[in-house]
Amino acid sequence: KQFVTAAKLDSRLRVGSCAQPLETFEQGATNLGGRVTVGVRCSAANTWTLYVPVLVEVEIPVLVLRRALARRARVAMIDVEPQTRRVPGTAATFLQDTASLQGHRLKRSLPAGTALTVDMLVPDLVVRRGQQVTLIAASGPVEIRAQGHALTEGGVADRVRVQNTSSLKVVEGVVGSDGAVRVGI
């Protein structure tokens, strides 16, 4: 279900009646947290335009935290419960399936009762600062491997800086699911 609620207009506002059907249009294309501005226009002889704040909400099943969790905590299935809630925005913003929790951790601390959204999670760290990693440079069938120390941390598909242990050269590469860092040749 979708719910649209318009804000109350200022009682001091005075507009004339419109001889034609009113026109509506969306102000801008963004939908931040379910809040949008809708324009209402009269195109008759006594032309006027109003901008009305509107809250868009959906009633959907979401994953809700059973207990408070700290920043960088992994969210396990026992930490969440499905609930049907009326939430701002679109269904795509909220987590509805426990499979989406796998391989992720919290970006910040959250209290119990929080409906989880995709922007509250970040991928698990695969490479940590100071960790020894394998550097892989490949071109076609040829692959060169070297050891290095991570200078930055990152999850799968993140870019990290690594210092080659033997040459001491600092390179940037992409973290693979195996923890190796792939660099371009």
Per-residue model confidence as pLDDT tens digits over 9-63 = 888 988 888 999 999 998 765 555 678 889 999 998 889 999 999 998 889 999 9
Q: Give the pLDDT confidence score for residue 32 in this predicted structure.
A: 57
For the CA atoms of 128, 130, 131, 133, the dihedral, rounded to the nearest 10 degrees, stands at: 110
Q: What is the pLDDT of residues 121-143, one digit of tens each?
A: 988 888 999 999 999 998 888 89
- How much of the chain, in percent, has pLDDT values that exceed 90? 54
Tokens matching residue 169:
């050269």
Q: What is the DSSP string of 120-176?
A: GEEEPPSB-TT-EEEEEEEETTEEEEEEEEESS-B-TT-EEEEEETTT--EEEEEE-
Mean pLDDT for all residues in the chain: 90
